[in-house]
Amino acid sequence: MPDFSGFGEFRMTKQRRVVYDVLVDEPRDHPTASEVFLRAKNRMPGISLATVYNCLETLTHAGLVKQVNLDRDASRYCPNLKPHAHFFCSECEQVFDITPRPSADPCAVWELPEGTRIDHLDVTLKGKCPACARAGHP
Amino acid sequence: MPDFSGFGEFRMTKQRRVVYDVLVDEPRDHPTASEVFLRAKNRMPGISLATVYNCLETLTHAGLVKQVNLDRDASRYCPNLKPHAHFFCSECEQVFDITPRPSADPCAVWELPEGTRIDHLDVTLKGKCPACARAGHP
DNA sequence: ATGAGATCAAGAATTATTCTAAATAAAAAA
DNA sequence: TTTTTTATTTAGAATAATTCTTGATCTCAT
């Protein structure tokens, strides 16, 4: 069982652990709150949707999971704490984590006025994943 | 009056023109649909919110405006057709357009599996704009 | 054990957006 | 121009994700 000290006043309750485990265990496919709810019920039948929302918010605040927003679709959640962006395949509608090339700084490509302070970067690429791109060009 | 030929079967109706003008005229501050609605009513009191939504969708489809989504907030709209990203100041909550440095390719910094096809890039930077950053460090 | 505070559950409330159906306006045909 | 067809606008209902509210339950320090 991982160590969650260092995450402030955060308390790992039974429900939060279930929600967290759902995200960490396979399939790690960036589920929405409702999808997390369905999977969580398999492990803890009495859990409520409201609690899943609460847990996801708490876990996000604690920094254990990341909220992923694509356009205005339902938020998705991901336990990958390394800095990364997302690739969305418009064909199979899957979300893939992508990482910056070593030594590349994704912020550096943008022209920003002198004195701007960057706290956070949010990147989504859209297109076709290799499998779907190949299927489309038979 | 600009020429809108070359935008397919698109028809520039009175309402669409009003909505478009609201976006193009100052302040070009990335308003939400409701904000566009309020401004549009000044120019055409009878216009309805549903129509504003319809027009924004049509204009977006026609490629005359871009829909800008920050997290799960209400969509904002922007008439800047040049490729650009957005900077959101967490202090003054304004949205600024930002452009890539000449000759920089924002997609190139990301590690993507061989064969991935990129159609679209969506970037939001968050932090403090120069004015707010300075105000925070007095 | 007891009491204070955090967490959970169920359902109501909210909000941005989409849908529906009828009315209106514009374009095409006669 | 009149008629017919088609697209657009409107108002309000419907939807869907999320948040809020309230009371019940749990946890932990005393």
Q: Order of strands, edge to edge, in the sheet holding A85-89? A: A95-98, A85-89, A117-128, B117-128, B85-89, B95-98
Residue A52's pLDDT is: 98
- Flag if B87 and A112 touch (Cβ within 8 Å): yes
Instruction: Examine residue A1 and state whether it is found in any structural domain, yes or no.
Output: no
Instruction: Examine residue A47 and state whether it is found in any structural domain, yes or no.
Output: yes
Residue A136's pLDDT is: 81
Residue-number span of the structural domain to which B130 is assigned: 85-136
Q: How far is A1 from chain B (nearest CA, A)?
A: 32
Q: Which residue has the tokens 């501050």?
A: B29
pLDDT, block means (10 residues), chain B with 138 residues: 56 97 94 98 98 98 97 97 96 95 95 97 97 85
Length of chain A equals 138
Map A43-74 to HEC letters: HCCCCCHHHHHHHHHHHHHHCCCEEECCCCCC
A124 and A90 fall within a common domain: yes
- Please give the tally of structural domains in chain B: 2
Residue B1's pLDDT is: 40
Map chain B to HEC letters: CCCCCCCCCCCCCHHHHHHHHHHHCCCCCCCEHHHHHHHHHHHCCCCCHHHHHHHHHHHHHHCCCEEECCCCCCCEEECCCCCCEEEEECCCCCEEEECECCCCCCCCCECCCCCCEEEEEEEEEEEECHHHHHHHCC
B64 and B101 fall within a common domain: no
pLDDT, block means (10 residues), chain A with 138 residues: 56 97 94 98 97 98 96 97 95 95 95 97 97 86
Residue that is last in its domain, among B31, B59, B78? B78
A99 and A73 fall within a common domain: no
pLDDT digits (tens, 9 = 90+) for B27-54: 899 999 999 999 999 999 999 999 999 9
Instruction: Examine residue B71 and state whether it is found in any structural domain, yes or no.
Output: yes
A100 and A122 fall within a common domain: yes
Structure tokens at B82: 């040049």
Tell me, in Å, how far CA of B7 is from C1' of C25?
Answer: 22
Residue B92's pLDDT is: 93
Q: Show residues, CB within 7 A, near nucleic chain C.
A: A 10-11, 13-16, 46-48, 50-51, 54-55, 58, 72; B 11, 13-14, 32-34, 49-50, 53, 57, 74-75
Which CATH number is B93's domain given? 3.30.1490
Percent of chain B whose predicted confidence (pLDDT) is above 90: 88
Instruction: Examine residue A20 and state whether it is found in any structural domain, yes or no.
Output: yes
